[in-house]
Structure 1
Amino acid sequence: MTLDQKNPRSNYLTTIFWDNDSVKLIDQTKLPEKLEIITCLTYQELAHCIKRLAIRGAPAIGVAAAMGLALCAVKSKATSKSRILEELKSAYHTLLETRPTAVNLKWGLDTIFRELDKYETVEEIKKNVVASAIKLSQEDIAINKKLGKFGSDLIKDGDVVMTHCNAGALATVSYGTALGVIRSVKESGKKISVIATETRPVMQGSRLTAFELVHDEIDVSLIPDTAVGHLMANKMIDKVIVGADRILRTGHVYNKIGTYQVALLSKSHGIPFYVAAPLSTFDLKSSTEEITIEERSVEEVTKIGDKRVAPAGVRIFNPAFDVTPPDLVAGIITEKGIIYPPYEKNVQAIFDGI
């Protein structure tokens, strides 16, 4: 991997992009201290970036996975269709294993693979895999802006909106889902203030969400995760909007650990709890019993930076995600509109209309 200091910022942060047969992405592990760009030359390097959270967020890693296949294709020395397909299948499985809970990752891989039978030659495969990956990245931004506009209609002038984890430009190619709604509100001329939870243990709220909103000059306050109930009890929050890593047809929402307790507190205090996610985040086939919740390194809990904050020998349980049941969700904001309960009926109706 190589590293350069190019700043990709224009109006909004751009998380990942294709550049001359390489993939460039913001190294999110360095934020907020440094804004650095990693250049990945192979799909193995990109898989490593996904695994170590240099790039994260369900829509972003869906596009990253597609670009990983594009890297595999352009770097291939194969001279036959059968051989390059074998290499792409190997890359598919390597990339798929990096983050098991986020459904967008498999969606990005499957979107590329569905097209491969159309092409007869190695060169056709290489050209079209790259073109498809780039197209997915462009579509992601357009989808987020559509989603943001639907969501902005829910927000009143002067609302204070809480968000958990990071569902912004850094979780997508650009613009964001939950933060895309907030950006759309600002663009509409309405005033909005944001409360961001720090989101332990990896601190995506403080390192990423606060970074994005400060960058965009959107009013934001950062709070400890443990302060959520206090703010709600004191009527300091009007609405909650979060992203998602997977949504079932039943309306069950898989998102960053801690989302469930934010949703419970929202329900208890009569605060609408919304989820913002593209349709690519929906899993219409699985049940809650079939979903694997990723568990992450114990060091994420036992250390802050290089400093140990837990005694040696203590057992650690570090799930990356939890599931929020549908009865806690006021609505799901998508690029096709807002889905309201009953979710099983209305989610299916959205997909039937595509």
Structure 2
Amino acid sequence: MAEQSQELQRSREKLRSLAAELAVAEERERRHIARELEDHLTQPLKLGRMKLGHVIRQTTTASVGALLQDIDEIMDRALKFTESLAVNLTPPVLHEQGFQPALQWLANRMGQHGLAVSLHPTPKEPRLDSDQAIILFQSVRELLFNVLKHAGTRRAALSVAHQPTGHLSVTVKDEGRGIQTDELEQPGDPDSRFGLFTIKERMAKLTGRMEVRSLPGQGTSVTLLIPIGSPPEADLSDGKPETTERLRVLLVDDHAMVREGLRSILEHYHDLEVVGEAGDGMEAVKLARTRHPDVVVMDINMPRLDGIAATRQIKRDLPSTAVIGISVQDSSQIEQAMISAGAAKFLTKDRAASHLHDAIVSAR
């Protein structure tokens, strides 16, 4: 009997590990596919639109200009589709800004599916490692879709809180038809139990737990709790300026084709000088310290160190250096994160061809 009990416990532990590892593996594969879309489809289309926009501005023949505008609109539709596809695969905001901004993005996204979600965040962003953030985010997304499919309501509340016990709690609550919580422990079709068993096992793997409160006709509240460290404190400070006759510009993007496109546009302006290029945030910080640019054109989503963190470091070291954020995502959350980090302006990449020069000059 003892051996059977031990074997059952080992099987349970394997199941918990598998549930957590599957969630992480799925998210990594989603990120890989989204990255492939960006590298081999979105970025080439962006570069093409940049160069096309430059040609359109120089075209004097009306018929040729109209034809180029038609081509530009076709490319724009293709871009919007690929960007939407990549975002649906995995939200960049989760990896670029953190867990709570990703929940806000998710709440907004659920509205497009017909579920109005009100978010009540904790004042300080939780300190989560990558796997914790992925597992929690996927679990919350599944819970919200459960509300949409099963609860018979079009409203839900999502709250995040730091508990005195050192746990982070994330609660999804609705006022729908409710469920019998004792049915969750009964065998049967996982879908009939709303997939909560899998989420429960994921939480257990994170040494946390899931709490469900529900009664038929009185709605459902599902709380996910995991142990975490204290939230980080704010980090803000300043540095020292340097100027030249022509505005010195540092280009930062992890795609060489995009850097090439930006450089080709800026080289037409005699009041600017491109003094360097960086392929990630860490390289950008190092180059900024040695090249002392007047303006840094900063991509957001990059390996090693993202554009938001790099902007914060550059503004700390060189407060007079202006930073202009650029991104394939036209997101108010990303824009606000860059502005909060110290950026002077934010542009989408498809607007860079026609607006980047003016943005650089006005940023100084």
Instruction: Please say whether Structure 1 and Structure 2 have the same fold, judged by a TM-score greater than 0.5.
Output: no
Give the alignment's TM-score, normalised by structure 1. Answer: 0.27
Structure in which a larger fraction of residues adopt helix: 2
Give the alignment's TM-score, normalised by structure 2. Answer: 0.27
Rg (Cα) greater in structure: 2
